[in-house]
Every structure is written in C-alpha cells, then in structure tokens.
Structure 1
Amino acid sequence: MDVHVSLHGRGDLAAQVYRQLLDAILDGRLRSGERLPPTRELARRLEISRNTVAVAYDRLVADGFLVGRAGAGTFVSAERVRATRSAPQGVVRPRAIWRSMAAEAPASTHEYDFRVGVPDPRLFPMETWRRLVARELRTSLAGYADPSGHEALRDAIARHIGISRSVRAGADDVLITNGAQQALDLIGRVLIDPGACVAVEEPGYPPARRLFRSLGARVAGVPVDGEGIDVTAIPNTVRLVYVTPSHQFPLGTPMSLARRAALLAWAERRRGVIVEDDYDSEFRFGDRPLEPLQSLDRAGRVIYVGSFSKTLLPMLRLGFLVAPASLMPALRAARQLSDSHGELSTQAALARFIDEGLLARHIRKATREYAARHALVVDTLTGDDRLRLVPSVAGLHLCARFSPGVSVRPAPRLALERLDAYCGESPAQQGLVLGYGAIQQAEIPEGLNVLKEALV
C-alpha cells in the first residue's frame, strides 16, 4: 500500500509519522489486514532515517494498531480498526436551487416491483455484449477522441433511427451522450439563458423539469390532453419546449398529427426550439407510429433526443441527440467541456451490436415479452371501477387515474409510483404509474391483487 505521509518542519518526525498513520487507520483509509510499506522504503520516500519510521511503527504495534509478522511485514491489526472516514462537515452551501433537490436511490427491495422506466436485464444478451466489449478493449486505441462520440456509432445510430423512426440524419448530425439526461443538459447549456422560460408537459418527466430549473430557467407546465401538449397554452415568453410525442411520459398517449403540426407552426412563429424526447418509442404493441417531429420539421427547429437506457440497460449510459447543423458546433464544445467524449470502447461495441442486427433482434424479442406483460396488466385492472386506465400501445409502463374519492394506502410489498409525483403544477393529478419492466410476468397478477387491496 502506497501510504501518503506529509512531514512538516524538522520537529518530532517519528510522532508525525505515527499520527498520520494512526489517522489513516482510524478513518478507514488503511483497512484491516493491509500491509504497510517496509520501514526502509517509507524512510527513503520521506527522506528521513529508517530508525525514525521504525519508532513510529513500534509505537503503533505497542498500541495494538499494527502487527508484525516475521518474514511477511507489518499489517494493520483487525482488532483495532474502526472505519469512521468522512469529509469535514464544512460551512459552504450550494446555490438555493440545489437545496430543494436530492439524488434518488434507484434500487428496490419490494416483493412486487412496479417502478417506472426499469427494463428487464434478463432479456439483454449479456454474453454477446461481453464479447463485443472485450473485442473493442483489445483493439481500441488510447487517447482523447471526437466529442461527438465514436464515428461508427454515430453512423450506425443515424441508419437505425432513419429506418426504424424515419429520422432524417447522417453521422455528422448525431452527438453521442451519456443517456438522454446528458443530452438535455447539453441542450440547456447551449440554449437556455438564466431566467428564460422553458415549457414542459404537465404531467411530465420530472428529471427534465429539475434539470432546466438547475440551469436557472423558469419552468412552465403546459397541460396535456388526449392529443398531446396544448399548444395554445404555451406562455408567450417561452422559446424552448420539451415534449415526449411518441409515448407521452407518463400518460402514454401519442401526440396527434394535427397537434404536431400546430407545435411546429408555433416554433416557426415564435422562433422557438422543440426538444423531442423519443421516450420508450422502441417497444410498440400496436398502431403504426406517427412521424417524429424531427422528420416533419423543415425549418431546423427540432432537436431529437434518444436513449438506449430502456432498450438495452441503464448502466450502459448511452444516448444521443440529433440537432440542426447550426447548433452542432456549440453542442460539441459543450460536450467536450462536460466530459470530453464518453467511454469509447462501449460506444464501439454498440456500433457493432447495431450493425450486426443484434439490436433489432433484441428489440423484437423484448417487445414480445413486454407486450405480454402490458396485456396482463390491462386485463387484470380492466373492470375495476376505482382505476381508469389511460390507453397506451408502447413503452414499459401504464398510467391509471384514480376515480373520484379513491386513493391508495402504503403497501410495503409494492414498489409503486404515484401520478402526482410527475406533476409540477397545482392541483396535481391523482393516479398511479405502473411499470412492468422490472417485474416478471408470473408475478404481475398477485402484485396487482396486492395493489387492489391497497386501494381505498
């Protein structure tokens, strides 16, 4: 173990070595059983006599914090270690906006997991993925790269979304990100001035709302009806609108073609920007998908955002954006300032995964499974007059509104998400958002029975 010891002045050096090693043991930096460097080596690095280090070691042995083993060295004693490592409490405070935000713990220990946006990792071809990543790790070159991301992946994504979603893009129009959230962050950095007003759907995607607020924007929630966002309700001061038209989050309804045309007309009239998050669009169980806003846009006012977090695995942190050429230089610069270019071997592996047809195969397989779970949730809840299901034909979740006077009491066995958690305006809408990606098909009926018992 390369122990850091910093000596000051020419006072009692043995005492300084003793105190710093003791602090490292007490706060857990040096753990039970770890071997300390030989006295000769540490003395050489500190440019002091070996006897000085030996005195410090002997004192720690006498106090029971170290133990010497003949022929092996000096080790931290298991009996005396108590890990209490922590940073100073400090007096520095974050900006006011961050005092109302906290990181969320994503894990669930509930028996029936109806969390939203969690795909089933058992459907992912992990062995194939390991093979692809291992191949790239053997062949990838070290060094910094294009902030737009791996060129082969940008080309593969452009072809994939061109075929599957009719998005008009080439490799130069694509920028790879660490998930959709980083894409939104880069867009906000480039386009949102502090104090500007940004419109989001109501109810809508909370991480987007919080992100825009963190950048200093005023966020206005715009009502969503059966056709999508109410364009006539967008405030006059808004110049950027964030929408999920393919599968509105969290309600699940697609934006109608007429409403898409109205939103594009708003953008041209107001010289605004539309951020189109193609949330959950890959898993479709019926109905032909409508054209994305990006493919209908002729003025270059739509930024298309996509992610592989739901399609593949959230841990891969792979997403992308497709932007007009006028914005790409700024977005590339923002990405470079943010984290340079991301993890290239993973990006290269995904490029092969797409090019070899493995992504399309995985989507077909996963869609069949999620379609069965979707149908099971609908069949089980249909007929219960306490819940009104919102029609949906895609994605990994369903929304159910409470009938008047209905609520749900805490159910320790269930991981549930309430609709009001997705609302930023008052009064909040009441209901549940039920994910079926994390729960196995065989567990759904019993889990929904537990839910029904919790409805009051």
Structure 2
Amino acid sequence: MAIISEHHIFLPEDANVGLQTRLKDAITRAIWDRRFAPGDRLPATRALAQHLGISRITVSLAYESLLSTGYIVSLPRSGFFVASDAPTQMEVSPLGQADDAARLDWGARLGPVPPALGAQASPADWRRYRYPFIFGEPDVARFPVDDWRDCVRRGLGKRHFEQVADDASDRDDPFLVEQIVRRSVSGRGVAATVDEVLVTAGAQNALWLTVQVLFGGKGGDVAMEEPGYPELRNLLRQQGLTIHPVPVDRDGMQVDQIPDGVRAVFVTPSHQAPTGATMSMARRRALLERAEASDFIVIEDDYDYEMSYASPSLPALRSLDQQGRVVYVGSFSKSIFPGLRLGYLTADARFVDHARAVRTLSERHPPGLTQRTVAYFLSEGHYNSHSRRMRTRMARRNEVLRAALAENGLTPALSRATGGTTLWMLGPEGLDADALAVALREKSVLVEAGSAFYGCEGAPRNRLRLGFATIETARIADGVALIAETIAEMG
C-alpha cells in the first residue's frame, strides 16, 4: 500500500465543468491508468482541498461520488482507499473508433522500429530452462556477493559520499579511471594516461560514442567481421553507414579481404564474436600496417579477453599501435555481471575529449556509486580473484562441452581455442539451426542460432553458438545429448 500525495492530483483546466466533477474525473483517470493502485490511500480531504485551493466540501462530495461508483472505499478512522475491485477503463469506457482516430499516428510518423537487440538476445525467462547454452548472463551462484556488498558500503561511506552524490558534470570518478589505467588496460599491454580513458555505460555505449565521433551521422564506409556482433551491425545500419563484411577464419579477420575506401574497421581480436577465434599476432600486425597504408581507424572490442585459459592472451592491438589509430573498448558488464552496464574506451586524448562531449549530450556520466564500487572492487583485488576463479571454471566447462560434442558426433568449428565462454558449432549440412533452437526449447534447452550473427544473404544456416558461462558443468553432457537427439529427429 502506498500513500498518495496531494501533489499527485491535478485538476483538469476546463471552465465548463464543475470543480467536483473535474476532481472526480482526475482521480478516476489515475485509477484507470494504474497510477493509483488498489489499496493506495488517498489524501485527507483537508490536505487535498488546501493544496488545490478549493473548499473541503467539494473534495468530500467528489470522494462520495467515487465511493458510490466503487472506485474507492472508506475505512473508519483510516481514510479513503482505492478499491481492490475498482473498475478499469475498458470496463466502463471501451476505447472507440472516435478515440483512436483522434490519437496521433506514431506508426506513420516514425516508421518501423529499427533493429536493436540481435535475435541472439537471451529470453527474459531463461532461468526456467534446465540447459541454458547462452552467452551474456551471470553465474550469480558463484559471484563474490559479500565482497561486492563491502565495496558498495565503502562507496557510500561518509568519507566518499560527496564524490558519489555530487553532480560530476562530464567528469568520471578519478579513482575508477586510475584503476582502469593501472589494473585493466595495463594488463593488456596498453600504457594509457588518465586523459585517454572515458567511462561508458558498457561496451555498446562505447561503440555508439565511437561511431558518433567518427561519423556524426554523415555516413561512410566501414568494415566488420562476418559473422559478427549483431548489435554492432544494427548500430552501424541505424547510423546510415555502408557495411563491408570481412570473413573470418581460425586466425580472426582476414585482413587482405578488407576493401579499399573504408574509414573504420571493427574487430574482436581476443575472442572473435561469435566464433571464438583469436586473431594471430601476424594478423594483428597486418591489420595495423593496412590501417596505416589505407588511413582507417581500428576499433578494438576486447570482448571476453579475461577468459584466456588455454594459452596466454596476446597483446591488445592498441598496445601495438604506434600511430594512435586504435580505439580500445573494454567492459566490466560481462566479467563482473551484465546488469552493471559499465565499460570504458581508451584512445588518443583528443578523441576522448570529443567522446566525452558527445556523451554529455545523452547521459553526462555513468552513475557515481556504480563507478566508485567498481573502483574498490578493482583496487581490493576482488576483480582479479573473481576472474581467476572464472577462468578455471570456464576451462573445465569448455573441456566437458567438447568431450560431450565428440561423444555425440557433433563438431566444433575450431579444433582448439585460447579460451572464451562460448563455442561455435557446425551442424550437419542441411540443418536449419533456427528451427532447431525452437524445437530445443520444448526440451528445456536454449541455444543461439548462428544466423543472427550474419549480415549477408545466403549465410550458412547450420551454425550454433553454445555458451557455457551459465549452465552448470554437471548438466552440459545431458544438454548436448538432447541437442544431438533433436538434430537426428529433424533428419
């Protein structure tokens, strides 16, 4: 039950309608709209009359009318409350054609909704599935909640509360920026300064800011991996950019296939999304040499780099960059938990200045408490400890998943990988992975059909991405058996 403030009740401005009727209609509409919910207590008649500048008897008569029509109830010595069975708008006044005709046709004005989330996005009810082979959801049972809670408490302590509570304008938490420089990008071989780092609302926000800075809605040609990250493809299309898909193999993006004339190239070199391939050192150097020769910018999304467990991770592209051509994008949203929505970019300080100005136009800066909490999580060593435990767990799950696939006659696309939390799988020729994903839901199995990651016509239909960050290790084998069984049933 909530107490409705008198400040939440407004009289419609219609001089042709009496005050009592206007007040009754205002409360009725609020109940219809569910702004006033069943059980909520209405303001006292004296307080509401004083707030609205009308007589108390007018308020009392409006309440009596609402009582008689069943919208509110009166409890002795307690006041007036919204009735638990108050009529809805559809019960008393169904919307007619005249009402619909009077409403603005937003569909005609705006056109179709642009694609945003890719088709690989996890369903909201994924936790009810017994075998969730999906990416991007947290393994909350093993997250160090007590350590995180301690960091939140420290962020809210009196010593730092002003920093968290102040309007920071366009500034980031200096403690977090310091930790990113010392403990995040430095681990990737990147020697950044604090003026070369911008905190963002996750990697997707960093990519959006980068596109705004580089192109500003003016169009242009860009290259990205094929298959590749669907949300990036949707972003580039929405900004009116011409996308040139570049194929990938076991060594990552095929640099020699990048066409002339592109102004930017987007890559995921640590663990290519979605295949999991790691860009070889030779390819990394070739990409930077091509960037210099063709004068384009490289946007490095260092996706899933923390999960390198089969072999040491290779240096970030930005650490090899001698010309300042690489914009490096990192994120804590997957390595800590997705709901955090916190990431960063590091680039030349002049690029960061532009990105900061663009960010200010939409959100000013990420929430201060979130930034300070993550800063403590990094500085206290909790992040590194959590990442080590995750790497050990993911290495074991990768091993179990590959063994289960082999036992059931299924084939991973890469014979080996340096790590990651997903596995790209090749199904039999003729398999429709989209239909397979639908059929598997009936068996409580979630998989990601590979078609979501392709932008070209005629893309192969027999690819699957199997995530193993969320599914329990003990359930992997049974889940794979169900996948194999369903593929066999589909012929």
**Structure 1 length-normalised TM:** 0.95
* Other-structure match for 1:174: 197
Tell me how far 1:129 sits from its aligned partner.
0.8
**Partner Cα distance (1:84, 1:203) in 2:** 48
What do the CA deviations read for 1:35-82 (whole angstroms, capped 9, x no partner)? 101111111111111111111100111111111112111111112254
Partner residue of 1:92? Answer: 106
Contact 2:70 2:87 in 1 (8 A): no
Q: How far did 1:203 drift?
A: 0.3
User: What aligned pairs does 1:394-409 form with structure 2 within 5 A after superposition?
Assistant: 394-408=419-433, 409=436
More moved, 415-424 vs 193-202: 193-202
AA aligned to 1:396 is T
CA distance in 1 between counterparts of 2:131 and 2:117 reads: 25
Residue 305 of structure 2 is matched in structure 1 by 281
Alignment correspondent of 2:76: 70
Three-state SS of the structure 1 residue aligned to 2:36 is coil
Spell out the pairing of 1:24-103 with structure 2 (5 A cutoff): 24-82=30-88, 90-93=104-107, 95=110, 98-101=113-116
Q: Which amino acid aligns with 2:157?
A: R
Q: Which amino acid aligns with 1:40?
A: R
The number of residues matched between the two structures is: 456
> Are positions 1:135 and 2:154 aligned together?
yes
CA separation of 1:354/1:101 partners in 2, compared to 1, >3 Å: closer, same or farther? closer
Compared CA separation, residues 236 and 6, structure 1 to 2 (3 A): farther
1:306–1:99: structure 2 CA closer, same or farther, 3 Å change rule? closer
> In the superposition, relative to structure 1, how do residues 14 and 162 fare at CA in structure 2: closer, same or farther (>3 Å)?
closer
Q: Does 1:269 align with 2:293?
A: yes
Q: Deviations over 1:57-108 (max 9, x none)?
A: 0011111111111211111111225487999874124655734456856421
Q: What are the within-5 Å matches in structure 2 for residues 252-331 of structure 1?
A: 252-331=276-355
Aligned counterpart, 1:7? 12
Q: 2:173 is matched with which residue: 147, 150, 153?
A: 150
Alpha-carbon contact 1:199-1:221 (below 8 Å) kept: yes
Moved more, 320-329 or 179-188: 320-329
> Per-residue displacement from partner, 1:406-438 (whole Å, max 9, x unpaired)?
445311221110112111112213311000011
Change (3 A) 1:152 1:405: same
| Deviation larger for 81-90 or 9-18 | 81-90
| Matches of 1:119 and 1:52, distance apart in 2 | 55
The residue aligned with 1:418 is 449
Q: Does structure 1 residue 432 correspond to structure 2 residue 464?
A: yes
The equivalent residue for 1:372 is 396
- What CA distance in whole angstroms lies between the structure 2 residues aligned with 1:105 and 1:228? 25
Mapped contact 1:240–1:275 kept (Cα < 8 A) = yes
Which structure features the higher share of helix residues?
2
Q: Give the one of 9, 18, 25 matched to 2:24.
A: 18
Q: Which moved more, 1:415-424 or 1:401-410?
A: 401-410
1:133-189 CA-to-partner distances (Å, cap 9, x unmatched) read 122123321222153521111110111134421112122211111110000011011
Whether 1:213 aligns to 2:237 is yes
Structure 2 gaps of 5+ residues are: none
CA distance in structure 1 between the partners assigned to 2:88 and 2:134 by the alignment:
37
For the residues of structure 2 that align with 1:320 and 1:383, how far apart are their CA atoms? Answer: 41
Contact 2:143 2:386 in 1 (8 A): yes
CA distance in 1, matches of 2:132, 2:412: 21
More divergent stretch after superposition (207-216 vs 238-247): 207-216
Q: Report the secondary structure of 1:224's partner residue.
A: strand
**For residue 74 of structure 2, what is the amino acid of its counterpart?**
G
In structure 2, what is the Cα distance between the partners aligned to 1:348 and 1:99?
Answer: 35
Aligned partner of 2:477 in structure 1 is 445
- Rate the CA distance shift 1:406–1:14 in 2: closer, same or farther, 3 A: closer
In the alignment, the residues of structure 2 paired with residue 182 and residue 208 of structure 1 have an alpha-carbon distance, to the nearest angstrom, of: 10
For residue 447 of structure 1, what is the amino acid of its counterpart?
A: G
Structure 1: distance between partners of 2:248 and 2:73: 68
**Greater CA drift, 270-279 or 1-10:** 1-10
1:443: Cα distance to partner?
Answer: 1.1
- Aligned-pair CA distance for 1:299: 0.4
Are the aligned partners of 2:224 and 2:267 in contact in 1 as well (CA < 8 Å)? Answer: yes
User: For residues 257 and 235 of structure 1, what CA distance do their matches in structure 2 show?
Assistant: 21
Partner amino acid, structure 1, of 2:206? A
- Aligned residue for 1:382, secondary structure, equals helix
